[in-house]
Amino acid sequence: MDSSIALLISIIVILLLIRLNVNISISIFIGALILGFLTIGFESLIQIAYIILSVNTIKIVVVVLLALTLGFSMEHFKLLDHLVSSAKNILGSFSVVVLPALLGFLPMPGGALISAIMIKDLVKEFKIDSELATYINYWFRHLWVPVWPLFPSLIIALAVVEVDYTEIIKATYPITITSIIAGLWFTRKLKIKFKYNLNDFKKIVFSLYPILLMSFLVLFVRLDLLVTLVLSLIILYIHKRPNIKDLKNILKKAIDPKFIVLVMAVMSFKGLIEETNAALTFFNHLNSVNFPVSIASCLLSFTIGFATGIEMSYSSIALPLLTSFTGVSSTFNPLNFMLVIASGFFGVMLSPLHLCLVLTSEYYKADLRRVYRYLISSVLVGVVTVSMVYLFHELAKPRFSQ
């Protein structure tokens, strides 16, 4: 069967299974098997096994487990309690929004779990329902994906289009701005207050020192995220000197089999999309029927982001196929690039395969269908705004050239 049709069928099946409340990991694995069987047959079973046992998948599993260990360690040693109480003193209920946004500067697979753990007491205190809490934590955790240089998706994009980082920011900042506006609209009922207190500010900085250390090591020392997680944990444990009982309590919470299975399911589906060339086939079909290039490019990037739930996917799979549209180096077109990145980003944010969405909803025991009411509305705001920016500049071009 045509791989692009198989991809669409597998996505529809995953969505239907989730709608029927089938476990998300099982749903994704079934989708991967359908894509594999419809394209490469029983060989897909071998391919899935290879993907699960690959170094890349194992590394992501380890990073997720280390991120969970760091989050639960910070919780166990009361660092998160100090951070939350100080942020609440300064910002009130709006701290529920600010804390995930702060941790959003540190990219890691499933990293929204750290902020979910961090704000859980505030969620209870301010009586925020599970679905809105999931949306707040998930949405504000990802505001910086289109602009922050630590995200692998942006690093890959820089390599593909061969331009300076500042040029990327000039192209993609409307995505982040409109995401902030959409998020603030749906959290407008939270009371915003600001009461500066030097002691509380110091407590916030001190409580965040494992995260700040990681950011410094990744951004300025350029260490691998896995290494920085290990170093941050080592320094935290040297500082707090946990005993065996402390470590057992932390690891009991952090090593959760369902999170490991989730990572393997997502990576299997992503790997089969690459193996079957489903994305390239999908784009070629659109071009063959004289589909407008801008719309075809957006559809491809959105589909890849939605189908994988991984930010790197649209940069590593879709973007290299679209360099004739985005331009490279001296021919770089920031408006076209913005469309491609926005489409991929919003596709990922809507994806039921996104680890952060799934892990956060699992943690808060939220109804994922109700969470999507917020997500779809927010993405629509983003799509409309980015489209207006694009059309405004396109319509203004002839006027400026005269």
CB 314 within 8 A of CB 344: yes
DSSP annotation of 151: S
Residue 401's pLDDT is what? 42
Q: Helix 334-350 vs helix 165-186: angle between axes, to the nearest 10 degrees? A: 40
Closest C-alpha among 215, 229, 258 to residue 105: 215
Residue 402's pLDDT is what? 42
CB 318 within 8 A of CB 304: yes
Residue found under tokens 């709608």:
19
Residue 192's pLDDT is what? 65
How many other C-beta atoms lie within 10 A of the C-beta of residue 257? 8
Whole-angstrom Cα distance, residue 15 to residue 11? Answer: 6
And the tokens for 193? 């207050």
Residue spans of the chain under pLDDT 70? 106-110, 150, 191-193, 397-402
Residue 276's pLDDT is what? 86
CB 88 within 8 A of CB 122: yes
Closest C-alpha among 357, 375, 354 to residue 366: 357
Closest C-alpha among 289, 310, 314, 290 to residue 300: 314
And the tokens for 188? 């407008």
pTM of the predicted protein model: 0.73
Largest CA distance in the chain: 74
Contacts of 273 (CB under 8 A, 6+ apart): 7, 35, 279, 304, 307, 308, 313, 317
Whole-angstrom Cα distance, residue 371 to residue 139? Answer: 11
Residue 395's pLDDT is what? 79
Collapsing DSSP to helix, strand or coil, 164 comes out as coil
Residue 109's pLDDT is what? 63
Q: How far is CA 313 from the centre of its chain?
A: 11
Residue 382's pLDDT is what? 94
